[in-house]
Amino acid sequence: MKKNILICTVGTSLFKPNLFGLPVPDKYDEWVAKQPKTDHQYLSVELITNLKTALTNQNWKHIAELLNTIPGTTRLCGAEINSISDLVEREYCADKSLLFFCYSATEEGENIAKILQYYYQFKGHIAKPRKIEYLQDKEPKLFRTKGLRNLVKEISRIVQEYHPDNCAINATGGYKAQIAIGVLMGQSLGVPVYYKHEFFSEIIAFPPMPIGLDFSLWLEKSGWLTALDRGEILGWHEVEDDWDERMESLIERVECNDGKIILELSPTGQIFHDTFKGRFQSCRDKILPPSVPSNQKQPPSLPNHSWGNARTPILNFLEKIVSDFPYVRACRTDYWNPDLSSTPLFRLKKEAIEGIFSNGTWTVKFFVETSATTSGQLEACIADLNQTIYSL
């Protein structure tokens, strides 16, 4: 089936070496001799001169107009246009597909995205540039820890909005790491991924690979993953006792200037989390335990020690858990520290669900009693609670 949503990573080949390497008139013959012979007939001196002038004037719209006068398969048009032209010609995607261009948060990336948007608007497409923050090569650490994760998030958002059956990923443009991310995302989301090297005679599709992701691990560790996905600061000391070696490729340890170790999702971890977050939403009603009859629900109560000003917010929070989640029977507090800040989450603790609630100055821990009768149902409850903890 032809795809009508195409998500494209964007590189800089349109500028480097293509447009930035255009020759002055007396070097034209030398330059054109280095281009594919099939392209020679389209690369007139007039076109090259006009492109150089438009580039000097930063007239991105005129560059798009000029490139539209030659076939999209011409190497001068760059990796993105070359590969999309091939996809359309081979009927892998519809002629008037909705195009998303995921470009790096740099001046060159933004300017290339403008050219691509104009180029495809002239052809009757709807083209939507998407800036990916921190996807740049000046700060490699930010590229790895934030840029690639942001690319994952954006692709996930598009696929979830338009459904995997309608989408394809064109991972031709950009850094090599983007290609790897595109392939892994395609495998996890069930979306075809395409790639075209400049010396390939045609675009290729990456075949499906027998990659298995552990849904039960996501259910069990959804608290950590959800907190990190939301940008919460989660310290190594908070998870060290419950660490699972299967998380090594999903969560990275980062040493701060003060020597403390905090955790961050890796790009693979972001793919893992986004994949199963979407899958859980589609199947949650099938895997959650049955509702507790209303006459069996128990209102929470707090022991009569000093809670300070925290008593009311804690009681209200626990009451909402009992009332808002059909499978919850009761909550009982287990730990109180008036001088500790913790990351709010739910987790498996001694074959039970432990909740952690904090306002940033104090922390309370409590156990949640549910109607779950199997470990799978218990893990599903944990994931469901973690998905909504920040809205309670």
Token readout for 18 is 């293509």
Range of the domain at 369: 215-391
Of 7-21, 187-201, 323-337, which gets the smallest average pLDDT? 187-201
Domain limit, last residue, from 180, 205, 230: 205
- Please give the average per-residue pLDDT across 4-30, as a whole number: 93
Grade residue 208 by pLDDT with cuts at 50, 70 and 90.
low
192 plus 260 within the same structural domain: no
Res 247: pLDDT: 84
**Residue 210 pLDDT > 70, yes or no?**
no
- Cα three-residue angle 49-52-58, rounded to 5 degrees: 140
CATH for 51: 3.40.50.10770
In a domain, 210, yes or no: no
Considering 172, 205, 238, which residue would you say is the last residue of a domain?
Answer: 205
Averaged pLDDT of the chain: 89
70/8 same-domain check:
yes
pLDDT in tens, 225-257: 998 888 888 888 888 888 888 888 788 888 888
pLDDT of the residue at 327: 97
Same domain membership, residue 219 and residue 191: no
The two beta strands, 261-265 and 352-358, are unpaired
User: Do 165 and 98 share a domain, yes or no?
Assistant: yes
| pLDDT band with cut points at 50, 70 and 90 for residue 100 | very high
Indicate whether 122 pLDDT > 60: yes
Q: List pLDDT tens digits, range 331-374.
A: 999 999 999 988 899 998 888 999 999 998 999 999 999 999 99
Q: Output the six-digit token pair for 233.
A: 């600061």
Same domain for 300 and 183: no
Residues 171, 247, single domain; the answer is no
Indicate if 285 and 384 belong to the same structural domain: yes
Neighbour count for residue 358 (Cβ, 10 Å): 17
| Residue 338 counted as domain residue | yes
Question: Which of 205, 236, 262 is a domain's end point?
Answer: 205
Q: Return the minimum-mean-pLDDT range out of 8-12, 271-275, 380-384.
A: 271-275
pLDDT above 90: percentage of residues in the chain: 51
176/238 same-domain check: no
Residue 386 lies in a domain: yes
Same domain (yes/no): 193, 224: no
One domain for residues 244 and 136: no
Indicate the number of domains in the chain. Answer: 2
Judgement on whether residues 142 and 276 belong to the same structural domain of the protein: no
User: In terms of domains, do 229 and 269 share one?
Assistant: yes
